[in-house]
């Protein structure tokens, strides 16, 4: 039997991803909702700018009008859910049996699935990051507070915003592979990626701060998503935050490979 080419596996996983109705709805409505929220937030800031106090103007962050914590929450939950469903959906429908019968090399199937999900989510995250930045700064330019790509830290913030999508999607895949139950996987994704990190705050205990600095949403909120970093040794560093962004999807990918390889279908 001739082994399936990796390109063929990529094509098959691409078809599977877009054949899910939930995927199309999440992508379409999710992208529009996040962009619409950026427009609304920027318009509110534009209209209210004349009434801002000097302190409010000094603290104003144009980038947070483009992509706020709520936007990040929506993106991470949506991407993590899609990632989980790409695995859970196959087990729920029994399609995984057909797939592994046709391609017994499970690691190649999972590698193709990881590649497709990571690529699609990276493109989606980049689109959202660029679109929210573009529409927001176009609105805010009317009151002279817009920023450009050449301003300090803007590219870092936009890159971090974009990477939230693939990071969350791959974490969702790992959770989906581990739990194999739609509701449980989605709830766990939300809890791990967003709900629990939302309540984390810097403390006087450095070991807790070090623990918090291992959570993607936390390091985005306190470091990578901010154009101006706070001078606080309790908060994550830029280098450490990028490492977190790299290690979580890597660990999730390894978990997905191990679980699918060792468990029966």
Sequence ranges of the domains in the chain:
6-262
> Could you tell me the pLDDT band of residue 3, with boundaries at 50, 70 and 90?
low
Rg (C-alpha) for the chain, rounded Å, is: 20
pLDDT in tens, 41-82: 999 999 999 999 999 998 899 999 999 999 999 999 999 999
Res. 2: pLDDT tops 60: no
Integer Cα distance of 130 and 60 in angstroms? 20
User: What's the mean per-residue pLDDT of the chain?
Assistant: 91
Lowest mean pLDDT among 96-105, 117-126, 200-209: 96-105
17-to-84, 121, 208 alpha-carbon distances in Å: 11, 11, 38
């Amino acid at each position: 039997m001739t082994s399936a080419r990796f390109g063929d596996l990529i094509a098959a996983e691409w078809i599977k991803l877009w054949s899910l109705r939930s995927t199309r709805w999440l992508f379409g409505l999710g992208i529009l909702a996040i962009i619409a929220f950026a427009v609304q937030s920027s318009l509110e800031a534009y209209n209210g700018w004349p009434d801002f106090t000097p302190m409010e103007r000094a603290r104003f962050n144009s980038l947070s009008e483009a992509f706020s914590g709520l936007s990040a929450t929506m993106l991470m939950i949506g991407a993590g859910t899609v990632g989980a469903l790409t695995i859970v959906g196959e087990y729920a429908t029994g399609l995984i049996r057909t797939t592994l019968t046709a391609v017994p090399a499970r690691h190649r199937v999972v590698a193709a699935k990881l590649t497709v999900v990571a690529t699609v989510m990276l493109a989606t995250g980049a689109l959202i990051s660029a679109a929210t930045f573009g529409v927001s700064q176009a609105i805010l330019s009317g009151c002279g507070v817009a920023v450009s790509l050449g301003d300090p830290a803007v590219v870092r913030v936009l890159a971090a915003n974009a990477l939230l999508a693939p990071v969350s999607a791959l974490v969702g895949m790992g959770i989906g592979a581990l739990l194999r139950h739609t509701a449980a996987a989605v709830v766990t994704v939300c809890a791990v990626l967003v709900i629990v990190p939302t309540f984390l705050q810097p403390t006087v205990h450095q070991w807790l701060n070090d623990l918090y600095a291992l959570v993607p949403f936390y390091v985005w909120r306190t470091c990578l998503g901010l154009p101006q970093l706070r001078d606080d040794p309790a908060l994550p560093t830029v280098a450490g935050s990028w490492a977190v962004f790299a290690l979580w999807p890597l660990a999730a990918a390894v978990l997905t490979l191990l679980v699918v390889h060792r468990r029966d279908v």
